[in-house]
A = this chain, B = another copy of it.
Amino acid sequence: MEVLGKQKVLAMMRLNGAGQLTGFPFETPSSSTTSITTPTTIIHPPATPITMSSCLLPSSAYMKPSPPSEISSPTPSSSSLEKKECAVCKNPNSSGYHFGCIACAACSAFFRRTVVLSRRYYCRRDPIGNSLCPLDRREC
């Protein structure tokens, strides 16, 4: 399931050609709503606000509303379903808000392993990691 993981990486973060994690979901605190939703004190990683919401959708869907206000979408029936769908893998059975957006347990665990633990990914055909194989949607 390496391809899926690759797609998840691409879906959840941005990679430059060298496999370095750049422009990470270390969201700039521009958007008013969610940006820093992890109130817990994270020590080990650099104490930067970590969310996985900014890289997923441009819209404010899946964003946790600060007040539990009603959804402004014209279809409230589907909106309740949307709030249960994982923003990453579209799994209809999400397990709640994780790292700033609605996500399933699997995507949450992936995000935790990847971002919080600062994992690096590289192509196995390029073990040195010198960007011979850029990590994008193409098969290398």
| A residues in contact (CB < 8 Å) with B | 1, 3-4, 38-42, 44, 86, 89-91, 93, 104, 106-107
**Which of B4, B38, B86, B93 contacts A42, CB < 8 Å?**
B4
Q: What's the dominant secondary structure at chain A's contact region? A: loop
Contact B3 A91 (CB under 8 A): no
Of B40, B41, B106, the residue contacting A40 (CB under 8 A) is: B106
- Residues B44 and A3 in contact, CB atoms below 8 Å apart: yes
Docked complex Cα distance between A89 and B42 (Å): 9
User: B3, A41: Cβ atoms under 8 Å?
Assistant: no
CB-CB under 8 A from A44, the residues of chain B are 3-4
B residues near A4, Cβ cutoff 8 Å = 40, 42, 44
C-alpha spacing A38/B41, complex, angstroms = 27
Neighbouring B residues of A42 by C-beta, 8 Å: 1, 4
Contact B41 A89 (CB under 8 A): yes
Given contact pairs A4-B42, A38-B106, A41-B89, a sample of 7 additional A-B residue pairs in the complex whose CB atoms are under 8 Å apart: A1-B42, A4-B40, A39-B93, A39-B104, A39-B106, A40-B89, A40-B106
